[in-house]
Amino acid sequence: MAKITPQKEDFSKWYLDIIARADLADYSAVKGCMIIKPYGFALWENIQRALDDRIKAKGVKNAYFPLFIPESFIKKEEEHVDGFAPELVTITHVGEKELGEKLYVRPTSETIMYDAYSNWIKSYRDLPLLVNQWANVVRWEKRTRPFLRTTEFLWQEGHTVHATEAEADEWTISCLEMYQDLDKEDLAIPVITGTKSEAEKFPGAKYTTTTEALAKDGKAIQAGTSHQLGQGFAKTFGIEFTDENEKQQLPWQTSWGLSTRIVGTLIVVHGDDGGLKIPPKIAPIQAVIVPIFRTPEEEELVRKECLKMEAELKEAGIRVELDDRTEKTPGFKFNEWELKGVPVRIEVGPRDLAKDEVVVARRDTGEKKSILLGKVASTVTFLMLDIQKNMYEKALEFQQKNTHEVFDYEKFKKIIKENPGFIKAGWCGDGDCEAKIQAETKATIRCLPFAYAGQAKGECIYCKKDATQIGLFAKAY
């Protein structure tokens, strides 16, 4: 089995090694696109299911809209199209026949969805309109990396319409909190939430809120976003409703999304030099049983107990796999399942069975211990909860250790260069300072954290004018 590049030696190479060796994805013949392999797709499905349950619990219904968007729709919202123009894929011909109007492969669905909304919404009784779709989108990226940034990716995009600004504000924040809850409870990822700066917000939005995670190489990664779109799209696409007083009104809109980038986020937040570490709640396989034997007699005895154990674990609701491959050694299997991030491994050998025991190993800590045969199901069920909790606490500890409060720009530059992470620093609110910091350090304002609201004191980290906000700066994927 080929060696994985250590994180400290080359984090980017480590990441690509993990993708390939854990059998998550493969490169496609189409530049910038990836093939999501069954194990990687099972991981995405579990995340998708956990999020879809939350979306439906909010009263949102799933729908599906066309992949192709007419050029006239794209051009209706100038700020929106300018934000995506460099990445748009254009269709001009069918066979040798030129189309009367160009079509674009969707980079996001606001325009195609809102044209339909203009026909669906007539009265205040039609509001709120709460729609989500699971789909693929295409953005022609210059530099790609599996899951983190690909030309085509999978996501969900929610699009809602509300009668008042207050309702849209409330919905925007509630969707952000939904992502934050998913990150913590299912993915064991701590995130910092806040609003994007004007330069970083979604094109056409009134404001954008975000969840920001910290990878083990000290770079930030945007895990999910929720946008308050204001009334601009409604005005552009003719979405109006008659209120209770029979007056025509423009509604307020939101959009919010999370993509397969979250799989990459999971890898860079939790992974180590041994491979993946997957939180139990979203692990495709939560426990693997590895039989150990040398003779046919031992094989018969061990296999019988393994099958019984597999049935008990399934009955307890554990996603379990019995690895009874005879062409692979136990040592090979141990390494393979560690690489794939399976939370618990159960080793079953004749010596252990003679003592009415098996050996249980945790992927998160590497701890191994012997437990009684009759307590396997209850022990593994407990471990699922404990591993989930421990992984979150370890990731939070890393985030807190690598979040720096800085008041001096020279120190800011030194940290970004030598010891990257989150930097909490004062900002005057001037986009020119923001742009100069990015040009000089490659660090951007990841968000203006809600947790720091009202704490702005002292000077802007760059221009030394009075700070009006606290910014969370970092290099990012």
**Domain residues of the chain, as ranges?**
11-270, 287-383, 403-474
Count of C-beta atoms within a 10 Å radius of residue 198: 12
* Distance from C-alpha of 403 to C-alpha of 408, rounded to nearest angstrom: 15
Predicted local distance difference test score (pLDDT) of residue 1: 60
* Distance from C-alpha of 169 to C-alpha of 161, rounded to nearest angstrom: 11
Please list the alpha-helical segments (H only) found in 214-287.
232-237, 261-270
Predicted local distance difference test score (pLDDT) of residue 203: 87
Residue 56's SS3 state is: helix
> What pTM does this model have?
0.95
* Distance from C-alpha of 324 to C-alpha of 302, rounded to nearest angstrom: 10
Count of C-beta atoms within a 10 Å radius of residue 431: 13
Residue 366's SS3 state is: coil
Predicted local distance difference test score (pLDDT) of residue 83: 64
| Measured CA distances, 465 to 332, 412, 454, 461 (Å) | 60, 17, 17, 9
Q: Residue 61: beta bridge partners?
A: 131
* Distance from C-alpha of 460 to C-alpha of 426, rounded to nearest angstrom: 5
Tell me whether the omega of the peptide bond preceding residue 280 falls within 30 degrees of 0, making it cis: no
Q: Which residues in the chain show pLDDT less than 50?
A: none
- What is the fold of 403-474? Translation Initiation Factor IF3 (3.30.110)
What is the tens place of the pLDDT at every residue in 410-419? 999 999 999 9
What is the tens place of the pLDDT at every residue in 176-210? 999 999 999 999 999 999 999 999 999 889 999 99
* Distance from C-alpha of 149 to C-alpha of 370, rounded to nearest angstrom: 43
**Residue where the block lists tokens 């031992």:** 298
Side-chain-side CA neighbours of residue 379 (13 Å): 20
DSSP at 31? T
CATH assignment of 287-383?
3.40.50.800
CATH assignment of 11-270?
3.30.930.10
Predicted local distance difference test score (pLDDT) of residue 143: 86
Predicted local distance difference test score (pLDDT) of residue 81: 63
